[in-house]
Amino acid sequence: MRPKALIAANWKMNKLPSEVSAWVRDLKDALTGKVLNADLAICAPYPHLPALVEAVRRTAIRPGAQDVSAHKAGAYTGEVAAAMLQDVGVELVIIGHSERRQYHQESDTLINAKLQRLQEHGLVPILCIGETITEREAGMTEQIVLGQLTACLQGISLKLAAELIIAYEPVWAIGTGKTATAEDAQEVCGAIRTTLLKLYPTLAEGIRILYGGSMKPDNAAELLSQPDINGGLVGGASLEVASYLGIAEGA
């Protein structure tokens, strides 16, 4: 069965913890009287999380983080463990974002370890994969994306489709204003689904595959109408309530 769309905000390193509750209140006010065809999630920086969890309590908006340590606990200064995120009340965690791969040299092996830590604590990973412009122009898109997918999912078993979310994010589309065409995005998301069918034959149809990369209210509906695109991971346009909601209304 086609999963309900999820529109996940990735606030990246923006906003202040003290701004969270007013932002969520504005979102809740804007949602009054509306019926969305999408679930909502907000992935915020670590210091924002207690305020975010509190602000979304008793709503259907799911609180998320943007990264997690590959280690369980111990002498890893500056790291945040999955157990800590679970304890704070987080439900979803982005891993493998291209900004982590690019600026922090994160490998598929490391991301696989992070995924295992999340599973140990019942947290749902939003696993990001995507090709660079050089890789796309060299005709290597599927090879790169499916290679990342299978490497990050090595040894990972699932009981439910809802335990895993994939985000296809072409690196050249993130924060650039250049969106993949709906056809190009569907082609890659379709190939991701085919690989998921091999890995998790009974669950793959229900695993959400999000598109991310300069998604905006004016391009969301077309992207979200593609058969293998089940939502969006939204950076820049998720910072304002109006544009975030505008995207969700496209589902």
Contacts of 99 (CB under 8 A, 6+ apart): 12, 174
The CA distance from 148 to 133, in Å, is 16
Q: Nearest Cα to 224, choosing from 36, 98, 62?
A: 36
- Of the candidates 99, 131, 163, 169, the residue annotated as catalytic is 169
Contacts of 230 (CB under 8 A, 6+ apart): 2, 3, 4, 5, 6, 208, 209, 210
Q: Which is nearer to ligand PEP, 94 or 200 (CB)?
A: 94
- Of the candidates 97, 99, 106, 131, the residue annotated as catalytic is 97
Q: Which is nearer to ligand PEP, 59 or 102 (CB)?
A: 102
Give least dist CB 243 to ligand PEP, A.
10
Give least dist CB 67 to ligand PEP, A.
12
71 part of the active site: no
The token pair that represents 213 in the structure block: 């990369």
Give least dist CB 214 to ligand PEP, A.
4
97 part of the active site: yes
- CB nearest ligand PEP: which residue? 235
Sort strands 231-234 and 208-212 into parallel, antiparallel or unpaired: parallel
Give least dist CB 174 to ligand PEP, A.
4
Contact residues toward ligand PEP (CB under 6 A) are 10, 12, 169, 174-175, 212-215, 233-237
Catalytic residues: 97, 169
